[in-house]
Amino acid sequence: MVSPSSFFRLLSFPGIGWSRSADRKTGRIRTAMLSLLQVHSGQNVQRLMQRVRFAEDVEALWYLRQDLLAALSEVDGELEARRQVKQINCMFKGGLPNTMGPRIHQRFPV
């Protein structure tokens, strides 16, 4: 089954700006993720790069963040990896349903 956004993308209606905007956002996020990975080597990194390249939309890229964090942590350490992924997290703002954003963990009073 073809998703509505894929269907309109195939038809290339010039009046549908929202799909082009989503495509640009997806492309920017994909490029940012790949730029973090391209300086590293290894089979796991190459496999992840392939998954990022072929991710269909922003939501698919959102779910690949954990894999990106794990791959970067192995090489750069967890603190540096978290710093790098945090910059990419900001790029998702406005591109995901509200329920898919980063979760804010509240501490309970002791």
- Answer yes or no: pTM beyond 0.85: no
Q: Which of 1-5, 67-71, 74-78 has the lowest mean pLDDT?
A: 1-5
Query: What digits encode the pLDDT tens for the residues 1-56?
Result: 555 555 555 544 444 455 677 788 889 999 999 999 998 888 888 999 999 999 99
> Looking at per-residue confidence, does 101 or 31 come out higher?
31
51, with CB counted inside 10 A (0-12, 13-18, 19+), is middle
Question: Can you give the pLDDT at residue 94?
Answer: 74
**Where are the chain's structural domains?**
20-93
C-alpha dihedral sign at 58, 101, 68, 75: positive
